[in-house]
Amino acid sequence: MFESKDLLGIKDLSPEEISYILDTASNFKDVLKRDIKKVPPLRGKTVVSLFFEPSTRTKTSFALAAKRLSADFVNFSVSTSSVVKGESIRDTALTIQSLGADFVLIRHSSSGVPHFLSKIVDMSVINAGDGANEHPTQALLDLLTIQSHKKSFKGLSVSIIGDIAHSRVAKSNIYALTKLGAHVRVICPPTLMPADVNRLGVEVYHSIDDGIKDADVIMTLRLQLERQTKGYLPSLREYFKLYGINHDRVKLAKKDAIVMHPGPMNRGVEIASSVADGPQSVILEQVTNGIAVRMAVLYLLGGVRK
Amino acid sequence: MTVLIKNGRIIDPSQGIDGRKDLLIKSRKIEGIYAAGKAPKTDKIIDASGCIVIPGLVDMHTHLREPGFEYKETIYTGTMSAVKGGITTVCCMPNTSPINDSVSITQFILDKAAKEGACTVYPIGAITTGQKSEELTELEALLKAGCIAFSDDGMPVINSLIMRRALEYSKIFNVPIISHCEDMELSKGGVMNEGFVSTILGLKGIPKSAEEVMVARDISLCELTKGRLHIAHVSTKGSVNLIRDAKKRGVNVTAETCPHYFTLTDESLISYDTNLKVNPPIRTEQDVAAIKQGLKDNTIDVIATDHAPHHFDDKDREFDAAAFGISGFETAFALGLGLVDQGILDLTEFIRKFTITPSHILRIDKGSLSAGADADVAIINTETTYTVDSLNFISKGKNSPFHKWKLKGIVEKTIAMGKVYDWR
Ligand SMILES: [Zn+2]
């Protein structure tokens, strides 16, 4: 079923592979509900995280996932390592491999770095977010969350709101959702819309009210606050006014719509606190599902490696 | 020493010659072209059976990297690589370290070229001191030292007023100002063409407008000043259209493109191969089609390589941080021959754009097989196919997107200033 040793992105996965990962993750969700949350499949295996961008939540989620599978988890700390002295990524990756790692989790601000590494090392490379390209495990955990609230992805209407141009979360979700048959609408100011994004099979909206209407899922993205200073936006206040998710806008969606956010949230910029903490929010559930999905990915790639 | 090149098909666009004839070289000069079998006896005979015999190619846009970046290329390795590609005249851009904005650097390059160079080297001087777009360099002194044109290539002349002054002042000497057209704000942070492929890859795009607004600006300034403008490395359809319209109005503008812009599209970047990272970036199918049309209708006058060699380590890294540029000398002719195979250009027109036309633009006595010309000749088998192995390039820059490509057209021998290089 699962043939690649790496998870570089959703783009190259088949719908069947995505479903298979989700099914596996569902099983691990049950494990996580047990009193003793540890299973043995990756005993003796080593998972190393190599994060060139800070992300406490993704790293912690992966660390817990690895530990629940009985793997050793080591953080290759970039700030204190030779990377700051200008060591090449190739050398860093080969060093990690020589330390005996089986998996490397890579997070980098430059798109394509996981693909670059995968050609160099024999370890399983897992993309934990690369530039504006992909963040596959985030999309998978989003899908797992949606799956527990909605019957099917087929025909489901998902509205993604935010900085689409710079969002790897949006990209991975667009790939995953469209592959599984959902209708995806992307909503953002034209300055933050990537070129020809409609060719990914999504509908493009600049008006949030139109874009959110009758949606089953509202997925809002984190806005990098420096977008304002780079001329993409006049002000954060205007952004919240035009694109922030508030109570009135949620009402335009279907009654049973769920509200998602990959975190960390800028309350009052992309989402109102009343919505984030409201009854339709599944934001904390996403966090919990992250561990199950990352367990599934490690487990399945570990199976390929055997 | 006299050498006769016989049994080849001599093509010299400068004289309108295309036929089975013999070429006689005496020492460092062309003696003449003779009907087959009619030449006098010579010391040496080169059999060019099955080959075309053409003027050594004139490459008006190259980066030899010396001084300053000798780990990427030297004048020795660069000119040897050029000669391997059938190129016998290279014009080197001034973005070395230090920048070629002074007589001493120009002299250094020419001294090195005289000592170690495999072919003729003409330096192109910087338009502005330090390529900073602030003050004009001393054009007269640089020309006297041996520069043949001016460019801030690698950088645009950001300041429109300085560009105006450059186009005006250079009229004293009737030399071209070669413009690297790029709006640095529009291209900022960009690493590839902006479009659907950059969206897929999540890489920051460089819009076509980054080139086109500067092409439009420079054409307007050229029209205003009646100066001489040459647009370097045209990569977009919009630029082709702007130049075509300007030429129709009689503006004194010429233009060049490079093999990668008429051969590749941005879809080839899909695997993040940094050997495809080049500035301006590789564009789309429509741009490639427009560039071919521009070559055909002479909107684009010249084919040049923009040879930009880099060290392995400069390319073997994350795409965003990798260097821009393609090592182009050793594949240029074969890629250009592709245009002939596709029926875009006939063989003579292709060779013209790579020999006598750039020579005319730069007003140098190169790119011709006429009697008395420098003995610069390329002998090329245009029928044989080979597989490119960039690791075997003479150039220190192995950064070629054409590695492992099957190409037609092998340079069998090159003669540079009378010296014979046999590559087989
Ligand atoms: Zn340039």
Do residue A112 and residue B317 have CB atoms under 8 angstroms apart? no
How far, in Å, CA of B125 to CA of B98, rounded? 12
CA of B166 to the centre of ligand 1 (A): 17
DSSP letters for A78-136: TTTSGGGGT--HHHHHHHHHHTT-SEEEEEESSTTHHHHHHHH-SSEEEEEEETTTB-H
- Tens of pLDDT along B351-399? 999 999 999 999 999 999 999 999 999 999 999 999 999 999 999 999 9
How far, in Å, CA of B88 to CA of B355, rounded? 10
Looking at chain A, which residue has its C-alpha nearest residue B200?
A133
Question: Partners of A47 in the beta sheet?
Answer: A73, A103
pLDDT at B179 over 90: yes
Mean pLDDT computed over every residue of chain B: 97
CA of B321 to the centre of ligand 1 (A): 18
Which of the residue ranges A28-32, A242-246, B245-249 would you say has the lowest mean pLDDT? A28-32
Paired tokens of B78: 């660069």
Q: Given B152, B218, B266, B306, which residue is catalytic?
A: B306
- Tens of pLDDT along A248-265? 999 999 999 999 999 999
- Tens of pLDDT along B195-219? 999 999 999 999 999 999 999 999 9
- Tens of pLDDT along B260-290? 999 999 999 999 999 999 999 999 999 999 9
Mean pLDDT (whole number) for A129-139: 97
Residue A224: predicted pLDDT: 83
Mean pLDDT (whole number) for B239-260: 98
Size of interface A-B (CB pairs under 8 A): 62
If contacts are CB pairs under 8 Å, which of residues 50-79 in chain B contact chain A? none
Greater pLDDT, A304 or B37: B37
Residue A231: predicted pLDDT: 87
Greater pLDDT, A153 or B37: A153
Phi-psi region of B159 (alpha: psi -120 to 50; beta: other; left: phi over 0): beta
Residues of chain B neighbouring A130 (CB-CB closer than 8 A): 202
CA of A130 to the centre of ligand 1 (A): 29
Q: Are the beta carbons of B182 and B236 closer than 8 angstroms? A: no
How far, in Å, CA of B307 to CA of B87, rounded? 12
For A112, the closest of B194, B313, B318 (CB atoms) is B318
Q: Are the beta carbons of B313 and A88 closer than 8 angstroms? A: yes
Contacts for B112 with CB less than 8 Å, ≥ 6 apart: B66, B75, B76
Mean pLDDT (whole number) for B99-114: 98
Do residue B318 and residue A113 have CB atoms under 8 angstroms apart? yes
pLDDT at A306 over 90: no
- Tens of pLDDT along A270-302? 999 999 999 999 999 999 999 999 999 999 999
Do residue A115 and residue B272 have CB atoms under 8 angstroms apart? yes
pLDDT at A83 over 80: no
Which amino acid appears at position A72 of this protein?
D
Looking at chain B, which residue has its C-alpha nearest residue A88?
B317
Q: What is the CA radius of gyration of chain A?
A: 19
Is the CB of A223 inside 8 Å of chain B's CB atoms?
no
Q: What domains can be seen in chain B, in order of their start residue?
A: 2-52+374-384+405-422 (2.30.40.10), 56-362 (3.20.20.140)
Mean pLDDT computed over every residue of chain A: 93
Is the CB of A108 inside 8 Å of chain B's CB atoms?
yes
How far, in Å, CA of A291 to CA of A169, rounded? 17
B265 phi and psi angles, rounded to 5 deg: -120, 165
Looking at chain A, which residue has its C-alpha nearest residue B198?
A195
Do residue A112 and residue B201 have CB atoms under 8 angstroms apart? yes
The answer to whether the complex's ipTM is over 0.90 is: yes
DSSP letters for B45-69: EEE-TT-EEEEPEEEEEE---TTT-
A146 phi and psi angles, rounded to 5 deg: -60, -40
pLDDT at A80 over 90: no
Paired tokens of B334: 């074969």
Is the CB of A120 inside 8 Å of chain B's CB atoms?
no
Question: Is B306 a known active-site residue?
Answer: yes
pLDDT at B414 over 80: yes
Please give, rounded to a whole number of angstroms, the shortest distance from the CA of B312 to a CA of chain A. 12
Please give, rounded to a whole number of angstroms, the shortest distance from the CA of A248 to a CA of chain B. 32
CA of B117 to the centre of ligand 1 (A): 23
pLDDT category of residue A84 using cuts at 50, 70 and 90: low
- Tens of pLDDT along A140-155? 999 999 999 999 999 9
pLDDT at A78 over 80: no
Do residue B194 and residue A197 have CB atoms under 8 angstroms apart? no
pLDDT category of residue A79 using cuts at 50, 70 and 90: low
Residues of chain B neighbouring A108 (CB-CB closer than 8 A): 318
Share of chain B above pLDDT 90, in %: 99
How far, in Å, CA of B252 to CA of B246, rounded? 8
Please give, rounded to a whole number of angstroms, the shortest distance from the CA of B190 to a CA of chain A. 12
